[in-house]
Structure 1
């Protein structure tokens, strides 16, 4: 851990001056009874930026992700997306332009890769129930458009030849990429990736890094939770380190990786076991 952090090069910049504010969290607190999982955390993401979220197990990273994406309603504090407060409803958050993947892959195993990505297009279709049941002209047009877009995204993430494979039969790394393709199918402005390289070998990790850079180059903002410090410090423009639900340091990769408190937090571990990060 220590060597990786010291040797990792500084984060790759998305391009100088920060763009418009995409996501802003101020004073976010999340309590579960007497447990304070997230305590007074500030966070912001700008257009064209890749931001990392790190911390030892139990730091509250996934809980904080859930506060940002409408899975949880924060006990206190505010979360705004392009200046608007979103309701704590995942579907509303996705329609507004925020998509995410999960620490534990959540694919439809008995559906093909193509069908999984097409599911992501559902929030961008408008066919009424009766039209869908009768397969009317509008439904057929939207279905064809969704299929075409899904095929484009499968090719974009490197799964162009896997469209007809059942998700459950795909290699682990491909399942990770498939989940990202499904998130991209919602046409997001911001995508949040929860441990996108977990369980990957070095070659797959390098491919994941390249994919995230290409997503950023499409004009999207990206937030990444990850335990691989070398990956984070090579990838991100800024990094927030959480420890026991609180912000330890928030800055450039160089500032974060050189802070002795970050090294101590990882070597010493965390006494707080947050099941969201387990």
Structure 2
């Protein structure tokens, strides 16, 4: 069922972008349930990789394995060729950050304070220095505040620095989560359904922001159900079904694969299913035209 893409050993020697994230044969079992089965994925510098699949396909579980939320039953995850331990703090310090499907902001803190929290992993002041507010603490506090302001402006929230996170519009909360993740200075950013619940204008703004992040040199991995969004945005797409890789390739290759349509709506055995298949194919086709027009 799984179709894996193997990168030639001399690919980097021929000028291919540098390999940043390398997940090999990742498997996650919960008792007798295999939530993720033997999934491999490579992410290279400046690349946007999409992860799609029906509900329950194992996409978020795979993200949790990559970011240390879960310890994989089998397999390993490497950044820049070094295997990272399955601990969230170690993963973040190594250079990988994420957002969550369900927004996880500190609602009673301002936007600025939320971003400053993300920066904490890059500071080194000890408890004693923090208590007495010594010179090192004050310097790091000043630098953290300045960086947080920069990131808020970067994601378009410069005017909302002192607004409580819980009082911000939904789309702004999503962007705030991205700013907090960027505060960790990642080399690869994982976004779990960044446009869920957004209106078309907010979705377009999210796409522009992700392109901006990619153009700054970061690699991005995106889970998303919006087919037009994912096929317009991504350089490569992996489709997971029942925890395994069904197909992976360019957006054109994935959206033209009949197995992908079948995975979402089932085989077209009657007239209604044929109509649904036609509608999904139309969505894929529209995504292709958007990609050609946008690039």
Q: Does structure 2 conserve the Cα–Cα contact (< 8 Å) formed by 1:18 and 1:49?
A: no
Among 75, 78, 82, which residue is 1:84 paired with? 82
Q: Which moved more, 1:214-223 or 1:71-80?
A: 71-80
d(CA) in 1 for partners of 2:162, 2:263? 45
d(CA) in 2 for partners of 1:52, 1:142? 36
Higher relative contact order (CA 8 A, sep 6+): 1
What SS class does the counterpart of residue 186 from structure 1 fall into? coil
Among 133, 144, 164, which residue is 2:131 paired with? 133
**What is residue 192 of structure 2 aligned with on the other side?**
194
Aligned pairs (5 A) from 1:1-278: 18-268=16-266
Distance apart, 1:27 and its partner CA: 1.2
Give the alignment's TM-score, normalised by structure 1.
Answer: 0.90
Distance apart, 1:18 and its partner CA: 3.7
d(CA) in 1 for partners of 2:248, 2:44? 15
Runs of 4+ in 1 over 6 A off after TM superposition: none
Q: Does structure 2 conserve the Cα–Cα contact (< 8 Å) formed by 1:29 and 1:40?
A: yes
d(CA) in 2 for partners of 1:202, 1:159? 19
Unpaired runs of 5+ residues, structure 2, are: 1-14, 268-295
**What is residue 273 of structure 1 aligned with on the other side?**
none
Q: RMSD in angstroms over aligned alpha carbons? A: 0.9
Give CA-to-partner distance per residue, 1:80-139, whole Å, 9 cap, x none. Answer: 111111111000100011000000000000000000000011000011110101111110
Higher radius of gyration, 1 or 2: 2
d(CA) in 2 for partners of 1:215, 1:18? 20
d(CA) in 2 for partners of 1:108, 1:221? 26
d(CA) in 1 for partners of 2:254, 2:150? 37
What SS class does the counterpart of residue 148 from structure 1 fall into? helix
Q: Does structure 2 conserve the Cα–Cα contact (< 8 Å) formed by 1:237 and 1:253?
A: yes
Unpaired runs of 5+ residues, structure 1, are: 1-16, 270-278
d(CA) in 2 for partners of 1:88, 1:27? 15
Give the alignment's TM-score, normalised by structure 2.
Answer: 0.85
